[in-house]
Amino acid sequence: MSQHKKWIRFVLAFVIITLISVVVMYISVTNGTYDISPLEVYETIFGFDQNDAFDLVIFEFRLPRIIIGALVGFALGIAGAVLQGVTRNQLADPGILGIHAAAGMSIVLFMFFIQGTISGAGWFTLFNMSFFGWVGGMAAAMFLLLFSRTYGVMDPTKLILVGIASNSGFSAVTLYISLKMNPQDFEMATVWLSGSIYSASWDQIIAILPWIVIAVPIMMMKTSQLNALQFDDTTTVGIGVNQSRERTILLLCSVALISACVSVSGSIGFVGLIAPHIARRLVGINHLHILPISGLLGMFIVIFGDFIGKTIFAPAELPVGIVVSIIGVPYFIYLLIKARKIT
């Protein structure tokens, strides 16, 4: 396929996914337990109608929730694509590799030992939660890099096995810490760990934005190196790519995004697995195209999953993490079967 046709496919995919996501956002803003007409939404957002009830519903509940869902989905989609590229393993995923569990464990530790000593729950506290999550995510990443090598070369099969083992270990520690909490904090931690954005706020948006603004541009600037990392180690070194340095930079950025997402939404699994696979089917293997499309697909998956969770089971709400997992588990099994047939 010519370069021109590839760009056309990328632009079409970008526009279509963006439009579909905007439609889902529009439906999510106007529908819910308290329905608001499109005209009322327009007048409230642009200040033409000073209705306190509409202001409360839109600006305090629905808009923060939609924006957090979009940011988290976008970040997880890009981080998943980068992790799969760095590890050369299309089954790699932040959840499967244990990064979600490690970040979650660190944040639960923060909630248990430190949160009560910091007054308020503003963006500074949330930023500290993101930092603690980053430390935990880095611990998981270093653990993976240390134990998934065979004769100095990263083994994709061993990577998955080590990731599953570390995921179980970090999850067990998280459960133990949670059981030591008082009942109110335990309930909050349990709902949060299941992957939920129903308590989204503008403070959370402010806390997650710096991580995305810093990490995503670095990842986009490294797409040519990420493409080069798909070759075997000898070829990669031969074309002048410093594998260790590039992998470390990309891994650090991925862990930063994942940890920031976990700090505001808990563990939403499978987004980083599903989005890159669909992106590759749509736009090919060039990471310059894969990363933005994967981010947009992740955004759509989280927003749509949250909309399903809050409407299908109304007045009760199903956390978006559970909705995405219901979709993700069968897809993961399909990928495993497909990989087995190829090998």
Q: What is the pLDDT of residue 119?
A: 40
Domain that holds residue 161: 3-342
Q: Are 281 and 294 in contact (CB under 8 A)?
A: no
Q: What is the pLDDT of residue 118?
A: 41
Q: pLDDT tens digits for 197-225?
A: 877 888 888 888 988 999 999 999 999 99
Q: Whole-angstrom Cα distance, residue 290 to residue 19?
A: 18
Q: What residues have CB less than 8 Å from 103, skipping those under 6 apart?
A: 133, 134, 136, 137, 140, 255, 258, 259, 262, 263
Cα–Cα–Cα angle for 205, 209, 214, nearest 5°?
170
Per residue in 286-312, pLDDT (tens digit) is 999 999 999 999 999 999 999 998 888
pTM, 2 dp:
0.88
Contacts of 329 (CB under 8 A, 6+ apart): 270
DSSP string, 111-171: HHHTGGGS-S-SHHHHHHHHHHHHHHHHHHHHHHHHHSEETTEE-HHHHHHHHHHHHHHHH
Residue predicted with more confidence, 294 or 268:
294
What region does 259 belong to: left with phi over 0, alpha with psi -120 to 50, or beta? Answer: alpha
d(CA 68, CA 292) in angstroms, rounded, equals 18
CATH value at residue 245:
1.10.3470.10
pLDDT band at residue 21 using 50, 70 and 90 as cut-offs: very high
Buried/exposed 204-235: b ≥16 CB within 10 Å, e otherwise: bbebbeebbeebbeebeebbebbbbbeeeeee
Nearest-angstrom CA–CA distance, 29 and 23? 10
Q: How confident is the model over 33-46, as pLDDT tens digits?
A: 777 777 777 777 77
φ, ψ for residue 149 (rounded to 5)? Answer: -105, 145
Find the helix packing angle between 3-30 and 271-283, rounded to 10°. 140
| Model confidence band, residue 120 (pLDDT cutoffs 50, 70, 90) | very low
What does the block give as tokens for 298? 């992740």
**Residue 153: φ, ψ to 5°:** -115, 135
Q: How many domains does the chain have?
A: 1
- The continuous run of DSSP H or E covering 105 comes out as helix 99-113
Averaged pLDDT score across all residues of the chain: 83
